[in-house]
Each structure stands twice: as structure tokens, then as C-alpha cells.
Structure 1
């Protein structure tokens, strides 16, 4: 059995290796990470996160999810939404998210036999998607504009929104006290906003080298998480989310360098987090809930997503076939699985285990990645919404069109990984 140091090193190495393999094979890294984590965990027994991390497991996983939400929230720059894509994207992450949460809650209640509160936790978690799983699928599908921008921006914006909603529902179910939920949320948001002010003041100090901005952002994110948790239990995730949104939308300092957070720290963080989470999956629970999970996936794919997409894209710039393509694209990704795992730990810590949460959400993540990965290109070809030009991805797995658009709106040069290639260069 691996000790703490050896286990920690193994987790990091396996996490990075899984993402490298995923990117090289041009498949969503989350699939590789989940399968690798299950292999080294419950299948072979090489890694037991509970034995390696012990009592540190919950605080470390919770802090890692907090950093992940900070990284995702940095993408929630509202100035990016301009032009024809603005309306359908905003509708998808508001009206569409609400429809998804409510209908997925009812589906989980009926199919899994869960109390409505716990079904609501699953429904809220299933709002999220994410660029790390949408990006590679867009590379396969190669949709035309403005459809590509709508799908890409929805994937970027929906993660922090869905995670915050899921956090609120989880707190309500665990504590059943609206006042406590309000205090928790306000504490976290307040600390996050103070942290954003501190970050801006530090970065604006001209003696600070831009090369250190990522390290400063990491330090501030860790600090606001710790302070918020010290002031009020479970306020840390609210704090890091508020910090990311505030930093992304302030206009005092440029944060070009901070967007490298996801390329470097995020790479290690996501990989390690998913190896730990997947290694804790109970294979018997996966098998036990396989049929209701597949039924839930069928409802999500055939009923819930088309309903949400129809409501959100009505009377938008998208034509009928493009709207149908939006209805055929809603994979779940890293934030869904990670929030499910950390909330499951919270239920365990509160003495009221939620055994269905992790196997059901992990099953939905894997199944939707496979379904949309296989069906997406076929549906796009059938609808005639594909372009002849391949969709290029930047180093974060986000379509280059999004990176270049954000750079143009910010008045800066696009990063080297997203700049157009020289004439004659072929893209894979």
C-alpha cells in the first residue's frame, strides 16, 4: 500500500499522464482520467485515497474543487458575449439551466426513488458541461458559425453557474435553514470580493512581474478559501467562485497571464483530483445503479436537453438545423463529477450518506461523453451544420475561435497557441 508521499506522487503522475494521453488521442481527457482512476483504484487496488490521505481527504478535495471553480470562473467574462451569439448563450445558461435543473430533478426523483431534495442536488449538478469536454467534441463535429461560438461559450459559462446552484441546493438539503444558507453564501461572496480587491491592488503595483501573476492568483484563491471556511463552514466554494468572477470582470488590471492558470496549475489539479475521485468509485454501486442511470441519461439526451435548447434558442440568430444541433450537444464534464464527489463527502461528514450521488453522476458523465461523441458528428452531418475547416483548439482545449474573440474584445494579441498558422499549415 502506498504511503502519503508515494501516494501523492502517484496521484499527480497518473493525473498528468491521463491528460496527456487524452489530448494525444483527441478524446475528452475526463474519460481517460475516470477509467484510469477506476483501474488503479477499485480494479487493481494500487491506490486507496482514503488510506493515503486519511483525514486530509475531505479538506484537500474540497480545496481542490474550490481552485477548480476559481479557474472556471475566470472564464466568466461577460464582455465576451457580444453580437448574435449573446442572446442564445445567455438564455442557455439561465432559462436553459433552470429547465435542466427542474426536469432533471424530477427525473432523478422518479427513476432513482430519491427524496426531492436529494434529487435536486443531482438535478443542479447536471446543469454543468464544461470546455474540457465540449472542446474536443467541437473539434470532431466542426460546426459552422455562429453555432460553434454558442456551443463553446455555453460550455465556458455554465460550469460556475451550475456549480454554484448545486452548492446552494446541497447546503439547503444538509441544513434545511435558508438563513444559514444565506449567511454561508454572503460570507463566501464577501471574502471572495475582498480577495479580488487585494489581487487587483497587488497586481497593479508596478514592481510586480507579470510572470508572477499566476502564483499570486493561486495564493489569493487559497487564502480566500481558507478565510471563508474559517469564518463559516462550507463558504469556501462560494468565495473562490466569487473571486474568479470578480477578477474576470474587473477593468483595472489586465489578467492575460492569469489565464495560464488552467494551462499549468489546472492541468495538475484536474488530473490529480480525478484520479482520487475515480479511485474511490464503488464498482458495485456503479453496477447497482447502472439501469436507472442509463434511463436518466436517455431522458437527459432525448427530452431534457431538446426542451431546454428549444426554449433558450427560440427567435435567436440560429436557424432550425442549428437549433437542433444545440439540442444534440450537452455532455457533462469535470466540474459535474468533482462537485458530486465533494458533496458526497459532505453528506458523509454530516452523517447522512448519499450513496447514489457519485455513481449516478459519474455514470452520466461517461455515458453522455460517449453518446455525444459518437452521435454528434453524425447528427451535424445530417443537419448540414458542419464546416469544411477543422476546429482548432488552444492549450486549454477551448476552440481557438473563442480565444481569438476574447483577445480581440480585450484589445490584446491572441496567445501563441491560438494564433493563425502560417499559410499551408495543415491542422490535425
Structure 2
């Protein structure tokens, strides 16, 4: 345990250096964090995955919630309305393209049943918010494109979870009903947003009173966790609740909260710059742990699926720019379009869902789990490498074919904005 804690402490110091390295070299920090976890665990054996136990998965979920919450605080109604149409098309098309590719690989190369292959596809259909949100921020994407990235990752994660459970129920119990599934999808989005916005309204009314109590800077994040947990308990999307909570806290006027009689009579609060800075620091800390833990989770036995995973990822990253260009080309310049085209990593939701088919007794469950865990790690690595190549090599010219808008003159030598790690 002592060695594990030593590595953990050194990792957090290294993470700040890696952000600076990202700014100077365009090599994403997530790549090195995964590599550190891989070297510390599977390669050297200095850190044992069992040392983290259940805490590892809990902290990974915590990181996801905070990333979505912080992402919500950067959204505005204006960027939301401008981005929603294209984002919805991109999210749905990318999700179902991923399902089709993974299912085809499963059936034609791995010998999975059609149902097992479709389940593999829905598990891998989501895009990881924990990866794309910090990357979009560090790469300096425009507000509209950052909004697109955040919404796409949240939408595809919810689709992945609900459709996966529907297919598992079909495989185990032979029951699949389209109507209830669609109702579950709509309610998961709608009620999650309502819970998140109502939570933000409640919080702005009580926050000033809470601030009168010592040591309560963390209380806003704690309330966000409560909302996430409550929403998940009710069967809705905790991810969208966290996103809506952050959105509501920073857009009180735009949402008309100030016109409500309850708010007029009360003492509504706003988030301070100190609180926002603190949230950013906590998010950075947990994001660092998430990627280290991801590298630590690698299992050598899972490499048996490597050739098929490479086929899956190769097809996904090849077809993605066609979809990104189709839905976003009108408002996206070449560099940002190229970057969005490679931001399709898999993450926490896929890793968690991977073990459920096996636990529920599906025939192909073990193969699905092995394939998914390795695919998640490699998808993040490939995303990181492609980001570097887009920023540093002529590869950007290939992606630029799908986005007719040239770079603005002021941004022809685009640099990653400086981030305070």
C-alpha cells in the first residue's frame, strides 16, 4: 500500500508537468497518465489494482460527475441553441455507426451471436466525457464546439446505457419492447434535466446560508453528487442532471430564475471565482486519477482480442470525419473540425457496462468484457496520438477536406491556450 500511495502522490505532481508539456508539444496529458498507470501496474507490478478496491471505481465516477458539472458551468443558452441541431445529428449518427462497426466485427471476425455483437456495439457506442471535455478545453475549441463535444458525449453515454440494458434483457429473458425503451430514453433525458435545473434553483437560494458555515467550499460539489445519485436512483440520467446543475448555477438570469417570486424574496447566490477555481482544481485532481486508474486496469489476457479491436478502431476513426463534416461543416473551421473528428474515445460507461453481460449470464459475456476493456484503453491512446498528429503534422489536411471553412487569420498559428494546472 505504501508503494501505491508513493506512486499516487508522484503522479499528481507529474500531472501538472504533463499539462505544461501538452501546451508546448500538443501531446495530450491523458496519454502519459494512462502510460504511467500501465507502467506502474501491469508492467512493473509496483502498484496493485486491488489496493484501490471499490474506491477506484467510486473515484472514477466522481471524476465523471465533476467533469460534467464543470462542463455545464461553461455552457450558455446562446451556444446551446446554436450547437444543438448539429450535435444531435452527429451524436446519433456516430453512436449507431459505432454499433454497426462493432457488431460487424463481432459477427464476422469473432463469431459472436447477432445479439451479443449488438450488445458489444451499444456498450462501445458512448463517447467518454472524462476524456473529451478536458481535451476540448485544453485545445482551445470555440464555445460552440466545446458545447457540441460536451453534449455529444453526454447523449451517447445515455444511449449506450439504456440500449445495452434493453439488449441484455432480451438475451436473458427474451423480452424487448421498443415503446417502453423509447419512453425510458426520453424520460432519462427530460427528467434528468428537470432535476438538475430544480437542484440549481434550490442551491442558489440556500448557498449564501451555507457559506456562513465554516469549510463549506466543497458543498456545491457535494450537492451535485447528491443530485447525480438521486437521479440515477430514480432511473434517469445522472450525467444530464450534473450537466444541467452546472448550467443552471451559471445562467440564472438567462433562465429567468430572478423573476420567480421565491427568488425575489430570497437571497440568491452566484458562484464566486474562488469556488470555480476550486472546482477546477478538484476536477483536475480526479481526472488525473481516472486516467492513471485506466492504465492500471489493463489486463494482459485481454490482448487476445487486439487484432479485432484494431479493425474496430480503424474503421471508427476513418468514418468519423465524414459524419463530423456532414453535421458541423457549416460552422466549423478546419482545425477544430479535424480535432472533433478524432474525439471519439470510449471511457467509464463502457468499462462499467462491459462486465454486466457476463454477470447476467449472456453466452458471449466473457468475450464482450475482454474486448471492451482493451478497446476503451486503446481508443483513448489513439485519440491522444491523433490529436498530436492533427496539431503537428500534415494529417490535418485530410480532415480539412470535410470542413470548407478556412482558419481565421488570427488563428492560423493556433496555439493551445495556457491552462492553470
Q: Which category of TM-score, normalised to the shorter sequence, fits these structures?
A: 0.7 to 0.9
Residue in 2 aligned with 1:218? Answer: 221
Distance 1:223 1:350, change over 3 A: farther
Counterparts of 1:93-132 in structure 2, within 5 Å, are: 93-113=87-107, 115-125=117-127, 130-132=132-134
Shift of 1:67: 3.3
C-alpha distance in structure 1 between counterparts of 2:153 and 2:19, whole Å: 21
Mapped to 2, the partners of 1:16 and 1:121 lie a distance apart of 30
Name the counterpart of 2:321. 305
- Secondary structure class of the residue paired with 1:124: coil
1:130-179, Cα deviation, whole Å (9 max, x unpaired): 242245555xxxxxxxx855544433443333333333334434446746
Partner of 2:53: 54
Give the Cα separation in 2 of the matches to 1:189 and 1:11.
39
User: Which residue of 2 is the match for residue 339 of structure 1?
Assistant: 349
Question: How many residues of Structure 1 are paired with residues of Structure 2 in the alignment?
Answer: 370
Question: Which residues of structure 1 form unaligned runs of 5+?
Answer: 139-146, 398-428
Provide the residue aligned with 2:264 in structure 1.
none
Alignment of 1:359-374 (within 5 A): 359-374=374-389
The Cα of 1:40 is off from its aligned counterpart by: 1.0
1:406 is matched with which residue? none
Q: What is the TM-score with the length of structure 1 in the denominator?
A: 0.71
Q: Distance in 2 between matches of 1:238 and 1:152?
A: 16
Paired residues for 1:19-34 under 5 Å: 19-26=15-22, 27-34=27-34
Offset of residue 18 of structure 1: 4.1
Question: How much does 1:276 deviate?
Answer: 1.9
Deviation of 1:375 (Å): 3.6
- Consecutive unaligned residues of structure 2, counting only runs of 5 or more, are 108-115, 171-175, 258-268, 401-405
Q: What's 1:422 paired with?
A: none
Q: How many Å separate the matches in 1 of 2:371 and 2:32? A: 22
Are positions 1:267 and 2:275 aligned together? Answer: no
CA distance in 1, matches of 2:357, 2:220: 30
Cα pair 1:328 1:379 within 8 Å, conserved = no
Partner of 1:75: 74
Q: 2 CA distance for matches of 1:76 and 1:161?
A: 15
Are the structure 2 counterparts of residues 165 and 325 from structure 1 closer, same or farther at C-alpha, using a change threshold of 3 Å? same
State the TM-score, normalizing by the size of structure 2.
0.72
Give SS of 1:330's match. helix
- Secondary structure at the residue paired with 1:342? helix
Distance, in Å, in 2 between the alignment partners of 1:46 and 1:294 is 29
RMSD: 3.8
Shift of 1:359: 0.9
Distance 2:229 2:336 in 1: 42
Find the residue that maps to 1:125 and give its secondary structure: coil
CA distance in 2, matches of 1:232, 1:347: 22
C-alpha distance 38-75 of structure 1, shift in aligned 2 (>3 A)? same
1:342-361 to structure 2, matched below 5 A, reads 342-344=352-354, 350=360, 352=365, 354-361=369-376
The whole-number CA distance in structure 1 between the counterparts of 2:77 and 2:377 is 30
**Pairwise CA distance, 1:281:** 1.3
